[in-house]
């Protein structure tokens, strides 16, 4: 929430052009590489630890949804 104080969006300075691979690509085997569902950057999409979103889009989504999202499923069972 601190980042919103000056009215800037977080995306602008920190996200490289989509022609650049996500950093996770260099840490997984080549056959686990796929396109990010949102920006179509190459990212570690398949297999163990894979994510349909690249780390940049994933962070943007997490920020939007808030950290509580992950726990909703378990809370709903109580």
Torsion of CA 47, 51, 55, 59, to 10 degrees: -150
Longest dimension (CA), the chain: 45
Q: By the 8 A CB rule, do 32 and 63 touch?
A: no
Smallest distance from Zn ion to CB 74, Å: 28
With binding defined as CB under 5 A, does residue 15 bind Zn ion?
A: no
* Residue (25 or 54) nearer to Zn ion, CB: 54
With binding defined as CB under 5 A, does residue 36 bind Zn ion?
A: yes
With binding defined as CB under 5 A, does residue 38 bind Zn ion?
A: yes
* Residue (24 or 74) nearer to Zn ion, CB: 24
* Residue (50 or 74) nearer to Zn ion, CB: 50
Copy the structure tokens of residue 68. Answer: 């509580």
Residue that is written with structure tokens 């398949």 in the block: 46
With binding defined as CB under 5 A, does residue 54 bind Zn ion?
A: yes
């Amino acid at each position: 929430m601190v980042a919103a104080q000056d009215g800037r969006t977080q995306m602008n300075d920190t996200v490289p052009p989509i022609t650049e691979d996500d950093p996770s690509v260099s840490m997984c085997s080549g056959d686990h590489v796929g396109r990010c569902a949102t920006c179509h950057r190459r990212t570690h999409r398949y297999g163990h630890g894979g994510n349909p979103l690249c780390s940049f889009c994933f962070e943007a989504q997490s920020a939007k949804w808030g950290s509580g999202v992950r726990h909703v499923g378990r809370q709903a069972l109580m």
